[in-house]
Structure formats: structure tokens, C-alpha cells
Amino acid sequence: MGDYDEEKRVKAPNKNLSSLDVDIFHHLGINSKCKHFNNIFSDIKFVCMGGSHKRMGYLAQYVADELKIDIPAGCALTNISHQTDRYVMFKAGPVLCVNHGIGVNSTMVVLHEVIKALHYSQASDVHVFRVGTSGGLGLEPGTVVLTSEALDGCLRNFLEVPILGEMVKKPSKLDGQLNNKLLQCALKDDDFQIILGKTICAWDFYEGQGRLDGAVCEYDEEKKMNFLKKAYDFGVRNLEMEALAFGYLCSQANISSAVVCCTYLDRFKGDQVTASHETLAKWQDRPIRVVVRYMKQYLNIRV
Ligand SMILES: O=P(O)(O)O[C@H]1O[C@H](CO)[C@@H](O)[C@H]1O
Ligand SMILES: O=c1cc[nH]c(=O)[nH]1
């Protein structure tokens, strides 16, 4: 832990950064010259991200307990990004837990800033995990899906974004080897399955994921089902809203990343999330448990 490995260093490939005297991370509420900046980021080996504030606070405490990270009495985990209410960020030893909000846009903003912070602090051998929720396709709700490939709503494996007046295609690549290692973290006694599948990273929760229950919907059940079946035949097993952003920015920055999501429902059977709050909380825990098992193996902590 904390070993420096030049080849595995996080590298924000933007040459303009070297001309900045100080970099202000507007959405994280810190800057590159703030007190403890290097202490926060230089030993980070894992970044765990998910949509909600609350899940990140819970995750950081869970990680601290599981990895037996000593948090001195009276020093409860603090939100490093307390100067802003956009995002929260907690550090539990070598693990940073940051929320990303909903969608690629919100995720890209915070990922740019987290990656730059890791780059300035010369962090190396960093894994980024999205631990999230999704809608499943043909799966028992509660199944954990590891994204083999992120696709947009037209089943294309890249991110297309308007930049300087032009549509630019950005490649998105998640780490297949990391997925294999996560698959091996399944335990015989698990009451859920972990599977590998393609993921649609949709631009919203309603029309973007072919739901019939948004405020506006200009297609019918038959068209919806035809698309979901086509996606299933193409290898898609779940739908969420951020995977493409992880595959794009992390691969550009020499970071290994994986998207690990539980499913909340089978979209072939409906659109509404009907499971109880308790059941959803249990399912939401599963990606976190799988990822923490991997961390323990990586850090050589007895499982
Ligand atoms: O569970 P999280 O991480 O919030 O992610 C999923 O939930 C949100 C939609 O409800 C989207 O952001 C989707 O990707
Ligand atoms: O159906 C779902 C459930 C959770 N998150 C999504 O993006 N879609």
C-alpha cells in the first residue's frame, strides 16, 4: 500500500494543467493548494462512487469497519467536500467515496475533478468502482451485474458529446481483467448471482430507458418490448445512467474501472420500482459487499 509505481500512475492527459498555479475544484469545494491535499489523495488505491450522498457516507463507514481502518475516537469520517453541497467525499484510509449524482453529465464533472486530484498527488495503481443500481433485463431482481461494455441508448459503445460545436465520439473502456477478479469474489453462500453483461447507459430514467410511465411517452408497449428484446439479444443485461462516463474518463487517465450494479426490477416485467425500501437497501448493499471483498484480497486482508 502506498507503493509508488510510475507505470501505474494516474495521468490526467491534459497538457494545459501544468500551467495552472493552483487548480480550483469548484464542485468538490477544495483546491490543489489546500491543507492536507496530498495526504488526502496520494495513498488512494480505490475510488468508490454511486449516485446518492447517503450511500457514500454509509459506504465509507462500511469500508472503514471491514478494512479495519483506525478512526480515532471523536474523529468520525468527515465530508471533505463540506464547502459545497454538490457532492460529498469521504476518505477511509486508501479508499475515497464520492457521490456522482444522476447521469453522465453530473458524473463527468466530479470525475474530472477526482482524476485531476489523483494526478496532482501522484496517486498510482488506482481502481475506480461505480457501485450502483440499475434496471435488469431477464434477471432475478437483486442480481449484481458487472458491465462488460457500456452502450448508449442506440446500443453504440462510445459516448457522443457536443464539444466546440461538433459531435465528438469518445471511446469508453472498462477493465475486463478487473471484472474477472470481481466475478471470482462470488461466495458459495451468496443469496444472489453476480453476472457479466453489457449495460445501457441511458440519458434518462424514463424515455431514455424505454419506460412507459414518464410524464411524456411517445411510443407504446410493443415498441418498448421490441427494443428491450433487441438489447437483450445484443447482450445487454441492465440499464443505468453513468457507465459510459466511467469507461471514458478512467481509461483516458490510466485508471482501471468497473461498473458494479444491482438490479431493482426486471424491465421485461414492468417499469415501476415496487420492492420495499428494506429490500432495495439489501440489494443496494450487494455491489458494495462484492467490491469490498476485492479490496480485501488486493490489500491482503484476511477475508
Ligand atoms: O444507483 P445510482 O448510482 O444512483 O444509479 C442509478 O440510479 C439513478 C436513477 O434512479 C441513475 O443515476 C442510475 O444510474
Ligand atoms: O430501472 C432502473 C433502476 C435504477 N436505475 C436506473 O437507472 N434504472
What pLDDT score was predicted for residue 3? 55
Average pLDDT (126-136) is 98
Ligand 1 close to Cβ of residue 51 (< 6 A): yes
Output the known binding site for substrate.
209, 211
Residues 80 and 90 sit within 8 Å (Cβ to Cβ): yes
Query: What's the DSSP call for residue 139?
Result: S
Q: How far is the CA of 6 from the centre of ligand 1 (A)?
A: 34
Given a cut of 80, is residue 2 above it in pLDDT? no
Q: What is the pTM of this model?
A: 0.96
What pLDDT score was predicted for residue 1? 44
What is the value of ipTM here, to two decimals?
0.99
Query: What's the DSSP call for residue 19?
Result: G
What pLDDT score was predicted for residue 72? 67
User: Which protein residue's CA is at the shortest distance from atom 8 of ligand 1?
Assistant: 102
Residues 110 and 100 sit within 8 Å (Cβ to Cβ): yes
Buried b (16+ CB within 10 A) or exposed e, 3-24: eeeeeebbbbeeeeeeeeeebe
What pLDDT score was predicted for residue 74? 65
Residues 175 and 257 sit within 8 Å (Cβ to Cβ): yes
Secondary element (H or E) of residue 145: strand 144-151
User: What does the domain layout of the chain look like in residue ranges?
Assistant: 15-298
Given a cut of 50, is residue 134 above it in pLDDT? yes
- Measured from the CA of 131, which atom of ligand 1 is nearest? 3
Q: How far is the CA of 222 from the centre of ligand 1 (A)?
A: 26
Q: How far is the CA of 133 from the centre of ligand 1 (A)?
A: 6
Average pLDDT (207-224) is 98
Domain 15-298 fold: Rossmann fold (3.40.50)
* pLDDT tens figures, 167-203: 999 999 999 999 999 999 999 999 999 999 999 999 9
* pLDDT tens figures, 143-164: 999 999 999 999 999 999 999 9
Measured N-to-C along each axis, helices 53-66 and 277-298 cross at an angle, to the nearest 10 degrees, of 40
